[in-house]
Structures are given as C-alpha cells and as structure tokens.
C-alpha cells in the first residue's frame, strides 16, 4: 500500500509538472484577452488568430427598439497590432497556478492587440441607428397613479435612450477583442430610470395616500343641501414630501372651498325676478344672498377629516332658500329669496309685502329724492333688523318714526307721519334722503311680517338726470298754467277799465302789460306807459277783478299757489274815474 501511494503521488506530481511546463508558454484555463478566449493558446497562436481575423472583422451591434448596425474593420481602420504585450501578459501568469484556474476565470486586456482610427470609430458610432430620433425615448421613473378606486405603483419605463459615451466605450471594447456581436442593452449603454417599482419610498407613498383617500365626509351647505366628499374629491387635496409621507394640503382645501364659494354664493349677483304683475325683470346686485366664510369653512373641513367626517359650511349671510336665481313673485317661488319678501317698485312708487307666497300688504310709498341724487338704490338686500320708535338722524334732519326696518346701511322702510300723500311722482323732487316712506298703517302691517334677513327687492326708479328733466318740464307747465291764470285775472281788471286786452304780455313777476302800455300788477294797482300809478292798490280789483291779487306768490309744499290777498270795496264812481285816468295815461 505504501508503494502504491508513492506511485500515485509520483504520477500526480508528474502530471502537475507536465501541465505546468505546458502553461509556461500557454495561457491557463478560462482566460480571455480583450474578450477573446485564449485558454491553452500560446501568445504566437493568439497573434496568428488575431491577425487572421482582423482583416475581415465585423461587429454586429443590436439594441432596443429594433436598433441594428454592422461595423466593419474598413469603416474604422482596424488592423492587428503586436508589440510583445500578449507574451508579457501570458508570462505574468504563473504556470504552476494552473489548478486554481480550473475554478476561476481570468480576464486580460491589452490596448495593443488591434489598432483603429479613433476619429473614424467615433463617426461610425454617432451614425448608428440607436441614436435615431425615433429611437431616443427617455426612460421614465416608476411613480404612483389612481386606478379609479385606489392608488397603485405605476411601473417604470426603461425607454431606449442610448448614451453615446457608453456606446462608444462598448464598441471599443468589442473591437479590441474582435468580438463578433455587441448587445447594447446587456452592455449597459442606455439611460436607466432612477426610481423603480421596488423603491421603498414609492411604496410608502402609495400606502400613505390610500390611507388618506379611503375616508369620506359630508359637508352641510345649508337649506337642505348636503355634499358628499369622497375619494375623488379628497385625492385632489393630498401632497407628498421627499420621505414619501402623504398629507392634506390646506391650500388645496382652501382652493376647493373657493370653488364652492363661486358655485353657491349669491350675494351681489343679479337675479331674474317676476314682479307682482307677472313681468320679468333683472335686478341689480345687492347684499342679500349666500355669503360664505371661506376661512371658517376650510377649517371645518380640515377638522372633519381628522374627526367625525361631518362638516358644516359657515356663512356670513344665510338666506331663506337655495336655488337658481330665477324668482317668481306672483305665481310660484324659487331661488334664494324664498316666498316671503318685500317688493319695492320705484317706478310706480308701490310696496308689496309677500308672506309665504301670499300678498299681504300693498301700499303707495315715497322713495328717495331722485333729483337730488338720493334715489333709493336698486338691488336685493336683507332686512338688517327691525326697531320700534326709532329716531332717524341725518346731516340736517332728525325724524322720529314708529316702525324702522333698515335694509341697506341707513336706508330702510319706515312710516312717514309727516307726509299727507304718497305715490305718483313725488319722489322725483320731494322724495326722502333715500329711505322708503310709508303710511303709518302700512308700515305697521309690514313691520309685523318682516324679520331679520328677509329679502327686500328694489327695482326701477328714475335717474337723477331724468328726475331733473321731469321736474323742469313740470315747472315749465306750472309756470304756463300760472301765466294763464295771471292773464285771466288781469283781463278781468282790464275789461272793467275799458282797456283792450289784445296783445297782452304776462311778465315773470305776474304783472300783465297791454298793448296801450298800461300794466296791471298782482296787487291790483294799474300803471301807465310811463310807470306812473293810475289806479292805487286795490282800486283796480275793486273795479271788477275777482282774481287773486298776488297770483305770482311762492308755491307751498303741496305745489299749490298761496299768499297774497283779495281786495274788496270801491264805488261805481271809482270805476269810472279809474277807467278815464287809465285811458288818458295810455293816450299820453
């Protein structure tokens, strides 16, 4: 047995030494040079193989998206090149370590195996099909997306964006090793996504988002309108940070509430309104309507998300109803005004009070003085409050009233016991400072129906220019009527004095001058052409005039003429003397 073991050891030693002697001049097992398999080959054999292959060498390059190119030795000026480097590389490997090479690979590189024209190689690479515009598709990172029910990871897209520096380097390596093929994808020549579907931060974000959007809350908008805010709404509010944490973005919730404000708020908006007589008008804006407290409503939603998931919108003003802005005054009712309100028709100076769809009060009124620019403002306004026995104080007035119902600052409905008449065109020149004046009995009735917040719909009315124009026409007509009255009264006096009434002229002071030059004055005295008194005051009137002696007196508040006196007394002799004197004075 001992001899047998010695024989085996000697045999193994002989094999080891023999193989070692072989690898003194050959490359060991599993060795490559520039990618070429040179195992068991001598340096000269490797050089011979390289030289034989170099002249007809071509490299088949393939890539993503159908890219394919062939690079030939002639295109890049490739040729074999030997300077003893291959031998040096072979000798650098210990021949006695060959057993170790049975279990490992050895990769050798040399820049002097082949040579090529660098510029030609670069030009050839730049012209490769993998760089065509339609193949240069940039990669996209993995992200998250909404699938209709929940968030999920959206897998990355590798794209096909070839990187020129990496392609150039891979081609050089392949050419140095006279490799027949090159797979750009396998060689890592493409831009890669920086975030993949296995990214832990991305997975954390998806989980965090789904926790937030899985909740649902209700938002009470008032007047029976309740909104359900589900994941489709809530997911518009979320944001994420760099660590993958998702949270509700307060600014996005505020933006959402602003959208609700635009949709549901009606304050300062015009409305289509059907009046008491069934005609349809468009009202001016006013302070009546839904007016949202956006900051408080936003906070209510944020609180609900972390609480019981029930929120209530907060309003500065909350009207009687909710609906579109179409109102129907004398038939059905809609919109936000509801079926109880006050209607003020400035054109016809009438006020109508509606209660639960029924007309309960109809009255004449006097609104703001249009000619002074104090017209009652058009629009829809809420009753601010109501008060008994108030005193209205202004710049130059103080008026006690029994029923005060303001709706637009200091403008309101109230009784006006100091007025004896209402309606018509009084408001054009004799209107209020802006309030709607009512008879006491009507004001009392309306006071009993109105409540804080009830709508007051005001429409129509003349502009200041129109009021001034109307007032001027009325004044002109009044002056014309007065002139006719003045002349009729003076004609009676003239006839009694025997003065021809033809060609009479009514003067601005109420006197009447006749063609012969005689003038009859409002106090009844008569003057000649030279201005001398022919008949003293009262004499001419006594001679036959029954007209007011001072018909040009100043109008009172009602517009009627007043003042002056009516003369009495005198004799027939007085009349005759006056007639003769007047005739003589006229003749002169």
Reduced to 3 states (helix: H, G, I; strand: E, B; else coil), residue 337 is: coil
β partners of residue 352 = 343, 362
Those residues with Cβ within 8 angstroms of residue 19's Cβ, 6 or more apart along the chain or in another chain: 98
- pLDDT-based confidence at 194, cuts 50/70/90? very high
pLDDT in tens, 245-259: 899 999 999 999 999
| Nearest by Cα to 539 from 548, 526, 529 | 526
Q: Which of 507, 524, 499 is nearest to 581 (CA)?
A: 499
Mean pLDDT of 477-499: 78
Gap between the Cα atoms of 229 and 164, Å rounded: 51
**Per-residue confidence band for 347, with pLDDT thresholds at 50, 70 and 90:** very high
State the pLDDT confidence band at 177, using cuts at 50, 70 and 90: confident
166: CB partners within 8 A, 6+ apart? 187, 188, 189, 190
Domain architecture of the chain: domains with CATH: 19-135 (no CATH), 203-317 (3.10.20.800), 343-462 (2.40.440.10), 470-587 (no CATH)
Which tens digits make up the pLDDT trace of 359-393? 999 999 999 999 999 999 999 999 999 999 999 98
How far apart, in whole angstroms, are the C-alpha atoms of residue 491 and residue 149? Answer: 100
Under the banding of pLDDT at 50, 70 and 90, the label for residue 458 is: very high
Q: Which of 428, 392, 216 is nearest to 310 (CA)?
A: 216
55: left (phi over 0), alpha (psi -120 to 50) or beta: alpha
Whole-number pLDDT of residue 465: 84
Question: Per-residue pLDDT for 415 more than 80?
Answer: yes
The residue among 354 and 490 whose pLDDT is bigger is 354
Q: How many CA atoms lie within 13 A of 395 on its CB side?
A: 1
What pLDDT does 539 receive? 57
Smallest CA-to-CA distance from 546 within 483, 496, 479 is with: 496
For the chain, percent of residues with pLDDT exceeding 70 = 89
Say if CB 298 and CB 254 are below 8 A apart.
yes
Average pLDDT over residues 165-175: 95
Name residues whose C-beta falls within 8 Å of residue 442's C-beta, 6 or more positions apart in sequence: 351, 361, 363, 415
Q: What is the pLDDT of residue 19?
A: 86
As a whole-number percent, the residues of the chain with pLDDT over 90 amount to 51
Instruction: Identify the band that residue 21 occupies on the pLDDT scale cut at 50, 70 and 90.
Output: confident
Q: What is the DSSP letter of 554?
A: P
- Residue 13, pLDDT score: 85
Read off the pLDDT of each residue in 159-172 and give the average, rounded to a whole number: 97
pLDDT given for residue 538 in this prediction: 64
Mean per-residue pLDDT for 13-29? 88
Give me the mean pLDDT over the 193-211 stretch: 94
CA proximity to 446, closest of 387, 385, 355, 361: 361
Give the model confidence (pLDDT) of 515-559 as tens digits: 777 888 887 788 887 778 878 876 544 333 333 333 333 333 333
Q: Residue 559: its pLDDT value, please?
A: 30
Per the listing, tokens 């002696």 go with: 549
Q: How many CB atoms lie within 10 A of CB 532?
A: 11
Residue 50: pLDDT band with limits 50, 70, 90: confident
pLDDT at 581 over 50: no
């Amino acid at each position: 047995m001992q001899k047998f073991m010695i024989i085996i050891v000697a045999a193994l030693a002989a094999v080891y030494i023999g193989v070692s002697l072989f690898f003194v001049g050959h490359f060991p097992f599993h060795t490559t040079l520039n990618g070429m398999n040179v195992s068991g080959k001598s340096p000269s054999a490797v050089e011979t193989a390289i030289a034989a292959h170099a002249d007809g060498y071509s490299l088949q390059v393939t890539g993503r998206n159908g890219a394919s190119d062939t690079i030939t030795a002639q295109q890049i000026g490739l040729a074999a090149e030997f300077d003893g480097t291959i031998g040096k590389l072979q000798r650098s490997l210990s021949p006695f370590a060959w057993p170790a090479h049975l279990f490992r690979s050895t990769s050798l590189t040399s820049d002097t195996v082949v040579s090529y024209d660098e510029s030609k190689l670069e030009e050839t690479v730049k012209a490769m099909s993998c760089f065509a515009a339609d193949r240069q598709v940039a990669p996209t990172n993995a992200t998250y997306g909404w699938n209709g029910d929940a968030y999920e990871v959206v897998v990355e897209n590798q794209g096909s964006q070839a990187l020129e520096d990496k392609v150039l380097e891979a081609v050089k390596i392949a050419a140095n090793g006279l490799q027949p093929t090159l797979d750009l994808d396998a060689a890592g020549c493409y831009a890669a996504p920086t975030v993949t579907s296995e990214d832990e931060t991305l997975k954390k974000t998806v989980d965090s988002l789904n926790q937030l959007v899985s909740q649902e809350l209700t938002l009470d908008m008032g007047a029976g309108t309740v909104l359900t805010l589900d994941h489709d709404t809530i997911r518009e509010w979320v944001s994420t940070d760099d660590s993958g944490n998702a949270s509700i973005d307060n600014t996005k919730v505020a933006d959402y509430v602003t959208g609700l404000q635009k949709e549901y708020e009606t304050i300062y908006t015009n409305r289509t309104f059907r009046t008491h007589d069934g005609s349809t008008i468009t009202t001016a804006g006013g302070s009546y309507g839904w007016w949202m407290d956006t900051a408080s409503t936003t906070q209510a939603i944020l609180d609900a998300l972390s609480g019981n998931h029930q929120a209530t919108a907060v309003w500065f003003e909350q009207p009687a109803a909710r609906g579109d802005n179409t109102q129907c005054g004398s038939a059905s009712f809609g919109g936000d005004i509801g079926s109880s309100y006050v209607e003020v028709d400035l054109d016809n100076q009438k006020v109508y009070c509606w209660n639960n769809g029924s007309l309960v009060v109809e009255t004449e009124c006097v609104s703001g003085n249009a000619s002074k620019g104090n017209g009652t403002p058009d629009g829809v306004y809420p009753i601010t409050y109501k008060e008994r026995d108030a005193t209205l104080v202004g710049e130059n007035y103080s008026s006690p009233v029994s029923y005060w119902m303001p709706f637009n600052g200091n403008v309101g409905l109230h009784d006006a016991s100091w007025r004896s008449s209402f309606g018509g065109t009084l408001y054009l020149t004799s209107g209020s400072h802006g309030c709607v004046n009512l008879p006491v009995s009507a004001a009392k009735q309306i006071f009993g129906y109105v409540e804080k917040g009830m709508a007051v719909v005001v429409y129509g009315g003349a502009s200041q220019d129109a009021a001034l124009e109307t007032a001027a026409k009325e004044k002109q007509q009044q002056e014309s009527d007065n002139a006719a009255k003045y002349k009729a009264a003076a004609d009676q006096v003239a006839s009694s004095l025997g003065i021809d009434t033809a060609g009479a002229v009514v003067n601005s002071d109420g006197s009447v001058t006749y063609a012969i030059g005689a003038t009859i004055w409002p106090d009844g005295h008569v003057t000649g052409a030279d201005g001398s008194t022919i008949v003293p005051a009262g004499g001419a009137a006594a001679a036959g005039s029954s007209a007011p002696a001072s018909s040009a007196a100043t109008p009172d508040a009602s517009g009627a003429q007043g003042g002056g006196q009516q003369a009495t007394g005198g004799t027939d002799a007085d009349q005759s003397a006056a007639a003769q004197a007047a005739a003589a004075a006229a003749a002169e």
